[in-house]
C-alpha cells in the first residue's frame, strides 16, 4: 500500500500509525480493533470459499497439491521471483 492508501485506512479507523521506538525514521502501522474485526471477517469469508473450492477433492490429492505449491514457492523465493 502506498501512503495515500495508508492514510485512507487510518482515517477509516482500520489502521493506526506510530513511530518505531528503535528507529524514529520508520513508520509503524498496526490494526485497530475495528481493523482486526474486519480482518477476521475477510479471513472467515476466504476460508468458506476455500472450503467450497476444495470440497470433494481427495485428501491425498490436496496433500500433493499443497506440497507442490510449497516447493514452488520456496524455489521462486530462491530465484528472486517472489518474497514469500
The pLDDT tens digits for 20-73 are: 889 989 989 999 999 999 999 999 999 999 999 999 999 999 999 999 999 999
Bigger pLDDT: 1 vs 77: 77
Distance (Å, whole) CA 61 – CA 76:
22
pTM of the prediction? Answer: 0.63
Amino acid at each position: 500500500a502506498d501512503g495515500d492508501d495508508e492514510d485512507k485506512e487510518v482515517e477509516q479507523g482500520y489502521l493506526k500509525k506510530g513511530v518505531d521506538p528503535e528507529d524514529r525514521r520508520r513508520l509503524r502501522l498496526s490494526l485497530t480493533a475495528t481493523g482486526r474485526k474486519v480482518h477476521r471477517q475477510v479471513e472467515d469469508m476466504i476460508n468458506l470459499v476455500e472450503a467450497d473450492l476444495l470440497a470433494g477433492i481427495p485428501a491425498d490429492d490436496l496433500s500433493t497439491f499443497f506440497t507442490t505449491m510449497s516447493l514452488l514457492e520456496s524455489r521462486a523465493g530462491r530465484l528472486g521471483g517472489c518474497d514469500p
